[in-house]
C-alpha cells in the first residue's frame, strides 16, 4: 500500500483476504479523491461483522466497529429502507434522538455532508457507498446531482467484482461463529421471501440440487424438519 493509504482503515491485517480492496476502491474513485468515502456490506445476520472499506479517520472507524455503531447509524438504517440514492440530510430528518446524537459525534471527524448509494444482491447482502465532505449539504447535493449515475454504477461494479473475487466466507469470516454459513443465510432469506428452489438457484448462480443441499444442512443445524420450520426457527433465534 502506498504512502497515501497508510492512515486509512482496511478493516484487516495484511494477510486478510480483503487487505487490498481499499486500493481497488480508491482506484475506482480516483475522480473524487478530494472526498471521504466508505463502502459497507453486511449480511442479514446482525452477529456477523460487516465489511467496511473507508478513508475516514482510522480512530473513527475503529470506534465505529468496536461499538457496533452500524446497528444505530442513521445512514445505514435509512439505507436499508431505500433503493435510490439519498442525502444525509434526508436520513437525519427521519432519524430519532439516538441517530442524531450519533451523527453529531461523526461531525467531529469532519464527516458532515454526504450522499449514500445502496444495493442488494441476489444473496441478500446489503451494501452501501457513502461519499461526503465537510462543506454544506446544499453545495454537496448540487455536486452529487451531476454524478449520481456514475457513482451508482461504480457501486454495482465494485460489489460485483468483490463478490466474484472472494468467497462469502472469506469476506464475512465471523459468519463461522453463527450456526449458518453466509451462503446458507442467503438461501434461507430467499426461501423466506417465497422463492422456489429453482428461482433461488437462478438468483444465486447455483444448481437446484445445491439449493436443496443447503436447505438440508440448514434444517439439520436448526433441528427442524422442513424449509418453513427453518424460516420460523431462524427468526425465533434472531438469525434472520
pLDDT tens profile 228-240? 999 998 888 778 7
Do 33 and 95 belong to one domain? yes
Domain boundary, last residue among 140, 171, 202: 171
For residue 217, being part of any structural domain is answered with yes
For residue 1, being part of any structural domain is answered with no
Position 7 scores a pLDDT of: 40
Confidence of residue 10 (pLDDT cuts 50, 70, 90): very low
For residue 13, being part of any structural domain is answered with no
Q: Any long-range contacts for 86-92 (C-beta under 8 Å, 24+ apart)?
A: 86/115, 86/116, 87/113, 87/114, 87/115, 87/137, 87/140, 87/141, 87/144, 88/113, 88/114, 88/115, 88/116, 88/132, 88/137, 89/113, 89/137, 89/141, 91/116
Do 155 and 226 belong to one domain? no
Q: Is the pLDDT of residue 9 over 50?
A: no
Do 138 and 35 belong to one domain? yes
Do 153 and 219 belong to one domain? no
| CATH number (domain holding residue 214) | 1.10.10.10
CA–CA dist 193, 94 (Å, integer): 27
Q: What is the pTM of this model?
A: 0.67
For residue 48, being part of any structural domain is answered with yes
Do 103 and 208 belong to one domain? no
Q: In what order do the strands lie in the sheet with 126-133?
A: 51-54, 36-42, 126-133, 113-120, 86-87
Q: Is the pLDDT of residue 73 over 90?
A: yes
95 and 78 Cβ atoms separated by less than 8 Å: yes
For residue 2, being part of any structural domain is answered with no
Q: How large is the average pLDDT for residues 63-70?
A: 91
Do 220 and 156 belong to one domain? no
Average pLDDT, the chain: 83
Confidence of residue 177 (pLDDT cuts 50, 70, 90): low
Do 189 and 98 belong to one domain? no
Q: Is the pLDDT of residue 215 over 60?
A: yes
Residue 233 half-sphere exposure toward CB, CA atoms < 13 A: 17
> What CA–CA distances, in Å, run from 76 to 5, 95, 128, 240?
25, 11, 8, 17
Least confident residue range of 12-21, 87-96, 124-133, 142-151 = 12-21
Do 152 and 190 belong to one domain? no
Look at 194 and 123; give whichever has higher pLDDT. Answer: 194
Do 60 and 128 belong to one domain? yes
Least confident residue range of 4-13, 57-66, 112-121, 158-167 = 4-13
End-to-end CA distance of the chain: 37
Q: Can you give the residue range of the structural domain that contains 206?
A: 182-237
Position 63 scores a pLDDT of: 93
For residue 11, being part of any structural domain is answered with no
114 and 87 Cβ atoms separated by less than 8 Å: yes
148 and 86 Cβ atoms separated by less than 8 Å: no
Number of domains in the chain: 2
Domain boundary, last residue among 171, 192, 217: 171
For residue 227, being part of any structural domain is answered with yes
CA–CA dist 174, 106 (Å, integer): 26
Q: Is the pLDDT of residue 58 over 80?
A: yes
Q: Is the pLDDT of residue 14 over 50?
A: no
Q: How large is the average pLDDT for residues 59-70?
A: 92
114 and 140 Cβ atoms separated by less than 8 Å: yes
11 and 55 Cβ atoms separated by less than 8 Å: no
Residue 162: its H or E element: helix 148-165
Do 160 and 192 belong to one domain? no
Amino acid at each position: 500500500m502506498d504512502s497515501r493509504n497508510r492512515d486509512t482503515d482496511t478493516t484487516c491485517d495484511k494477510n486478510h483476504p480483503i487487505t487490498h480492496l481499499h486500493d481497488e476502491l480508491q482506484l475506482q474513485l480516483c475522480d473524487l479523491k478530494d472526498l471521504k468515502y466508505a463502502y459497507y456490506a453486511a449480511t442479514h445476520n446482525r452477529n456477523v461483522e460487516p465489511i467496511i472499506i473507508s478513508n475516514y479517520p482510522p480512530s473513527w472507524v475503529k470506534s465505529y466497529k468496536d461499538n457496533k455503531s452500524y446497528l444505530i447509524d442513521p445512514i445505514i438504517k435509512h439505507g436499508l429502507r431505500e433503493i435510490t440514492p439519498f442525502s444525509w440530510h434526508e436520513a437525519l430528518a427521519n432519524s430519532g434522538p439516538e441517530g442524531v446524537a450519533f451523527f453529531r459525534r461523526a461531525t467531529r471527524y469532519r464527516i458532515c455532508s454526504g450522499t449514500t448509494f445502496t444495493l442488494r444482491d441476489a444473496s441478500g447482502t446489503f451494501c452501501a457507498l457513502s461519499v461526503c465532505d465537510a462543506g454544506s449539504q446544499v453545495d454537496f447535493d448540487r455536486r452529487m446531482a451531476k454524478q449520481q449515475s456514475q457513482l451508482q454504477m461504480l457501486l454495482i461494479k465494485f460489489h460485483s467484482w468483490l463478490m466474484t473475487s472472494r468467497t462469502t466466507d472469506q469476506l464475512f469470516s465471523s459468519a463461522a461463529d453463527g450456526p449458518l454459513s453466509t451462503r446458507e443465510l442467503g438461501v434461507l432469506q430467499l426461501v423466506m421471501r417465497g422463492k422456489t428452489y429453482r428461482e433461488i438457484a437462478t438468483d444465486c448462480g447455483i444448481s437446484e440440487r445445491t439449493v436443496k443441499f443447503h436447505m438440508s444442512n440448514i434444517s439439520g443445524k436448526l433441528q427442524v424438519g422442513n424449509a418453513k420450520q427453518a424460516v420460523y426457527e431462524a427468526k425465533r433465534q434472531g438469525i434472520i
